[in-house]
Amino acid sequence: MSNENCLADIKCPKCGALEPFCIEATVVVRVYDDGTEQINSGGIDWNDDSVIVCDACEFMGTVKQFAAAPPTALDAVKMVLAACGWEGYTASDAEICDAIDWQLLRDVAARETTNE
């Protein structure tokens, strides 16, 4: 699963969370002596260099870093399932995690690290 709206292609590079995030954004407001009023409804802007913090793990970076997040192990398994033609595969993320041999993945990761 991935984000498709305001957070399209954004994901925490540390924990893989898809939302929510705190993003440093700019907004235009009309200012009075006793307060402010937002005048461009929905016009809250940020860019690739804006600071973003993951609510789940508090990892802080730029939006660019979160947009370029590598796939998580779960994403990788889903890509493999799709590549193997498991169309219509409807298991939940939790069911996939239960079915994965995590020790096998750790062994593969350790081997790749050793080879570097």
Helix spans in the chain (H): 63-67, 73-83, 93-99, 102-115
Q: Which is nearer to Zn ion, 39 or 60 (CB)?
A: 60
The answer for residues whose C-beta is within 8 angstroms of residue 55's C-beta and 6 or more apart is 17, 19, 20, 21, 22
DSSP string, 74-98: HHHHHHHHHHTT-TT----HHHHHH
**Judged by CB under 5 A, does residue 10 bind Zn ion?**
no
For the chain, first and last CA: distance in Å? 31
Q: Which is nearer to Zn ion, 67 or 81 (CB)?
A: 67
Between residue 18 and residue 57, which ones bind Zn ion under the rule CB under 5 A?
Answer: 54, 56-57
| CA nearest to 10, candidates 58, 44, 61, 45 | 61
**Judged by CB under 5 A, does residue 59 bind Zn ion?**
yes
Applying CB under 5 A, which part among 7-15, 24-32, 65-73, 101-109 lies near Zn ion? 7-15
Applying CB under 5 A, which part among 9-17, 65-73, 75-83, 101-109 lies near Zn ion? 9-17
**Judged by CB under 5 A, does residue 12 bind Zn ion?**
yes
Q: Which is nearer to Zn ion, 17 or 78 (CB)?
A: 17
Residues that bind Zn ion (CB under 5 A): 12, 14-15, 17, 54, 56-57, 59
